Amino acid sequence: MDSNTVVENIYLLVVVTLVSVLQNAFFAQKVERESHTHTPCTDRVSCANRNCMDAYPTFLAVMWCAGLCLSQAPAAFAGIIYLLVRQKYFVGYLGQTSQSTPGYLFGKRIIFFLFMMCVVGIFNHLLWRYYGSDYKEYVQTITSAASTLLLIP
C-alpha cells in the first residue's frame, strides 16, 4: 500500500521520463543510421544529438525536483512541452545545410519554469517548517494555471 502511495506521487513523472527515453532512442537510431552512411549530414546529426544529450540530465533533475517539491501534474506537463521543443530543435538542426543551425541552447523558458517551481516549493516548505503556514494548495493551483502559459509560442 505504501508502495502504491509512492507510485501515486510520481507516475506522471515516470510517464514523461519514459517518453523522453523513447525520444532518446529515436535520436540514437538517427545517429546510428547516419554513422553507417558517412554523409555530410553525420556531423549535424551527432552534433544535434550531443546538444540534446548535454541538456538531458539537467532537464531530468529539474523536472523530478519540481515534481517532488511542488506538484507533479504541472511538472509533467512542462516536461512534455520540453520534449516537443526538443523534437523540433533536433529536426530543425537537420534542416538544409545552407540554413544556419539553431544555437546550443533550447527550451530555456521551460527549464526556467521548472526551476521556479522548485524554488517556490522549497520556499513554501521552509515557510511551513518555520512558521507553520502552508500555502501549498494555493501555490499548486497557481502553478497549474501558470503552466498553460508555456503553450504560448
Confirm or reject binding of residue 109 to a second copy (CB under 8 A): no
Contact with a second copy (CB under 8 A) among 21, 41, 84, 145: 21
Confirm or reject binding of residue 107 to a second copy (CB under 8 A): no
The Cα–Cα gap between 131 and 129 comes to 6
- Nearest CB to a second copy, comparing residues 5 and 151: 5
- Nearest CB to a second copy, comparing residues 112 and 148: 112
CA-CA distances (angstroms) from residue 99 to 92, 93, 102, 106? 10, 9, 9, 17
The Cα–Cα gap between 153 and 131 comes to 39
Question: Hey, what's the cell of 135?
Answer: 500555502
Confirm or reject binding of residue 44 to a second copy (CB under 8 A): no
Q: What angle do CA 82, 87, 93 make, to 5 degrees?
A: 125
Confirm or reject binding of residue 55 to a second copy (CB under 8 A): yes
What backbone torsions phi and psi does residue 104 show, to the nearest 5 degrees?
-75, -30
Residues that bind a second copy (CB under 8 A): 2-11, 14-15, 17-18, 20-21, 24-25, 28-29, 31-32, 35, 49-50, 53-58, 60-62, 65, 68-69, 103-105, 111, 115, 118-119, 121-122, 125-126, 128-129, 134, 136
